[in-house]
Amino acid sequence: MKLKKLTILLLILVLGVALPLTGCTVTIEGGGGGGGDKKDPTDNTKATVDETVNAKATVDAFIKALKEMNAEALLKLVAKSAGPDEGESIEFGEEGSDETKALKDAFKQLKFTYKSGEVAKDANETTLSYEAEAVNAMLFAMAFLAGQDVSNLPTTKSDVEIKLVKEDGNWKILNVEDVVAAAYGMADMPGAFD
The neighbour count for residue 164, using CB atoms within 10 Å, is: 27
The gap between the terminal CA atoms of the chain, to the nearest Å, is: 65
> In which region does residue 162 sit, left (phi positive, over 0), alpha (psi from -120 to 50) or beta (all else)?
beta
More confident residue, 7 or 193: 193
Give me the sheet containing 170-173, strands edge to edge. Answer: 111-116, 125-135, 155-167, 170-173
Per-residue pLDDT reduced to its tens digit, 84-129: 665 566 666 677 778 888 888 888 889 999 999 999 988 999 999 9
- Residue 107 CA to residue 67 CA, distance in Å, equals 5
Highest mean pLDDT among 28-32, 106-110, 160-164: 160-164
Q: Report phi then psi at 136, rounded to 5.
A: -70, 130
If you average pLDDT over every residue of the chain, what do you get? 75
Residue 137 has pLDDT above 90, yes or no: no
Residue 29 has pLDDT above 50, yes or no: no
Which residue intervals of the chain are DSSP H helices? 2-21, 45-68, 71-76, 98-107, 137-145, 176-183
Q: Which residues contact 155 (CB under 8 A, 6 or more apart)?
A: 109, 133, 134, 135, 136, 185
pLDDT-derived band of residue 131, with 50, 70 and 90 as boundaries?
very high
Residue 16 has pLDDT above 90, yes or no: no
pLDDT at 55: 95
Residue 163 has pLDDT above 80, yes or no: yes
pLDDT-derived band of residue 170, with 50, 70 and 90 as boundaries?
very high
pTM of the model: 0.70
Q: Mind listing the domains of the chain with CATH numbers?
A: 45-183 (3.10.450)
H or E element in which residue 133 lies: strand 125-135
Q: Using CB atoms within 10 Å of the CB of residue 162, give its burial: 0 to 12 exposed, 13 to 18 middle, 19+ buried.
A: buried
pLDDT at 1: 40
User: What is the Cβ-side half-sphere exposure of residue 49, based on CA atoms within 13 angstroms?
Assistant: 11
- Residue 61 CA to residue 65 CA, distance in Å, equals 6
pLDDT at 82: 77
pLDDT at 44: 52
Q: What letters, b where the CB count within 10 A reaches 16 and e where it falls short, cover 21-34?
A: eeeeeeeeeeeeee
11-25, 121-135, 137-151: segment of lowest average pLDDT: 11-25
Per-residue pLDDT reduced to its tens digit, 33-84: 444 444 444 455 565 788 999 999 999 999 999 998 888 898 899 988 876 6
